[in-house]
Amino acid sequence: MRLKFSPVLAALLLSGCAPVQSVVNPVQLPAATDFGAHANPMEWWYVSAYLPGEGLALHWAQFRVQDARLPAALMISHVAVTDLRTGQPTFLEQPAGTGEVASPPLRLRQGAWTLTQAGPEPTAPLALKAGPLELTLTPVKGPVLHPPGYSGSAETGVLFYQGITRLDLSGTVNGRAVRGQAWLDHQWGNQIPGRSALWDWFSVHLGDGRDLMVYRVRRPDGGVAQLIGSVVDADGRARAVPGLRAEPGEVWTRPSGRAYTLGWRLVSDEFDLGVRVVRREQELLSRSTRIAYWEGPIEVKGTWADGPVTGTGMMELVSGPWTP
């Protein structure tokens, strides 16, 4: 029997009307290989890719929400594809419903959308089939736990943060053959997006084989609750970024009044990087989660240890609740 969920209840749970639950201990960190489902209010799996050679940017997200008011875990999913040559974006959503999570090997399913791992090994290839996406994702590096192992704070709620920062991507998007590199994230805990926390997030594949993640968690009043960064070196080892600063620049304001900071300078004891968005019109208004966010491709350029460096990646900026 397929359970039916109230779309309004589902949206309220994801957009933050559920209370933050104290069920996460950031001192007891999970394994980097822990891809399966957890008994926490909020969890998601996320794949993103900027494919400069193909003129495409894309992301897929599978949310899983648990609450005492629901008879079973709730699943919601998003797919966004932007054709950068035509400027045509596509944003698809699967509304709240039941689904499947199993691991290892990892298997996620909501309706016809699936992410399936070929074997129990953490670096086994994954097949993603979701709307216009039919992709094979083959890890180039192993899973990592991003230092300090979680995003957020006691006041915003905490999400454990684990994933694979570089995967070879091949397959089709809207039937068109594509190749490139992707990024996979997995987070879970008691942080409620849009209500208890907002954020600015950057994932960058650098040309020298390093991967950079920067995460700025904001309180609803706009104050910064946490700023973290990690570098995954070419050999797959993850380490914290020392002396990190994220300096905001150009702000883009929508007619609605929602504002997104599209210009950034990322600075640390090791690097000084400027961030440039490839396309400004990347705001997404989710009816299933009732959250407004900006998600799109970026290019970075600057210095690392006094040498020049460039990179490409994705940026996500969460504005907050949105009412259709």
Residue ranges of domains in the chain: 7-18+35-321
Decide yes or no: CATH 3.40.30.10 for domain 7-18+35-321: no
Secondary structure (H, E, C), the chain: CCCCCCHHHHHHHHHCCCCCCCCCCCCCCCCCCCCCCCCCCEEEEEEEEEEHHHCEEEEEEEEEECCCCCCCCEEEEEEEEEECCCCEEEEEEEEEECCEEECCCCEEEECCEEEEECCCCCCCCEEEEECCEEEEEEECCCCEEEEEEEEEECCCEEEEEEEEEEEEEEEEECCEEEEEEEEEEEEEECCCECCCEEEEEEEEEECCCCEEEEEEEECCCCCEEEEEEEEECCCCCEEECCCCEEEECCEEECCCCCEEECCEEEECCCEEEEEEECCCCCEEEECCCCEEEEEEEEEEEEEECCEEEEEEEEEEEEEEECCC
pTM tops 0.85:
yes
Each residue's pLDDT, cut to its tens digit, for the chain (324 residues) gives 344 444 545 555 554 444 444 457 878 899 999 999 998 999 999 999 999 999 999 999 999 998 877 788 999 999 999 999 999 999 999 999 999 999 999 999 999 999 999 999 999 999 999 999 999 999 999 999 999 999 999 899 999 999 999 999 999 999 999 999 999 999 999 998 888 899 999 999 999 999 999 999 999 988 999 999 999 999 999 999 999 999 999 999 999 999 999 999 999 999 999 999 999 999 999 999 999 999 999 999 999 998 999 999 999 999 999 998
What residues have CB less than 8 Å from 277, skipping those under 6 apart? Answer: 262, 263, 296, 297, 298, 315
